[in-house]
Amino acid sequence: MGAERNRFRGLGPALITPMREDESLDLDAFDEQVRFCVDGGVHFLVPCGTTGESATLDPREQLQVIERCVEAAAGEVPVMAGAGTNNTKEACARARAAAAAGADAILSVSPYYNRPSPEGLYRHYMTVADAARVPVFIYNVPSRTASNVTSTTLLRLAENHELIAGVKEASGDIQQVMTILRDRPKDFLVLSGEDHLTFAIMALGGDGAINVAANEVPKMMSEMINAALAGDWDAAREAHYHLLPLMRMNFVETNPVPVKTALEMMGRGRANFRAPLCELSAEHLGALRQALERAGVDLPAGDTEKPPRKAATAARDTR
């Protein structure tokens, strides 16, 4: 099991889900994005997570995206497919379906809205792991789910199910992360779920990241992660600070609105979203472009003051 888990050490882009103007899936554009990331040196792929707008994908669409990801990866890197929801029975069904579609592991978000107790979370994940039959990574993101998978609950799960292989930690609580890193079982992976904390978490002993900026700059993010894994902290730190403005801009409004907008600026498809998400506020377009340029991204010439289509004018909650 250790060797199987170690396939997910390193960098996994939290892949966007490209869409057309009518909000239908653009799977050809998705193939291109997968190849862009693989060619950039990422270690694994993560479709159908938060950045992939999983909350508005129906189960059929989710499977389509996972199947295309597996095909486009062409066996070069493994796939960790987002397959969680807040209904345990449905989460089990989605985990089984994702594994059947070729996913090498499952990323299962903590049940949102329900706000289960620690015991409820424990039972949920034990049941999902029983159903999945492939490694399961817990996705802890309290800002989205309104509940925290505490270190006590997480370590209990890690110790009691061989298929619970790691965590995408996006609590923002470094003390919690340190407790997990100190007390985790052997081979249990801790992946940063917040771009700006990746360097810090890896310096504390973390194993990599599931990362939004890897959609835009997969090569640079891969180099940063590889440097950290090799213990070259000077190079990793330099890369971290070089990319930090872009990492921050990716969350200036609700993810994935900024990153999809950035990819459009880069000439990599249109920034279409599924409602209720909508275009990036006009006030942030210039700063986003500047962050890309500061990161060293070559952008096509264009008007930096106007969005490619009518944009929302009010800032939105970034959480």
Q: Is the peptide bond before 276 cis (omega within 30 degrees of 0)?
A: yes
Question: Distance of CA 265 to CAs 15, 219, 277, 280, Å?
Answer: 17, 18, 18, 12
Q: Which entry of 112, 122, 125, 139 is annotated as an active-site residue?
A: 139
Q: Decide if 163 contacts 129 (C-beta within 8 A).
A: yes
Does residue 241 have an active-site annotation?
A: no
Q: What are the C-alpha distances in Å from 7 to residues 52, 77, 79, 122, 256?
A: 22, 8, 10, 25, 26
Catalytic (active site) residue 89: no
Which listed residue (168, 186, 219, 241) is catalytic?
168
Q: Where in the sequence numbering do the catalytic residues fall? A: 139, 168
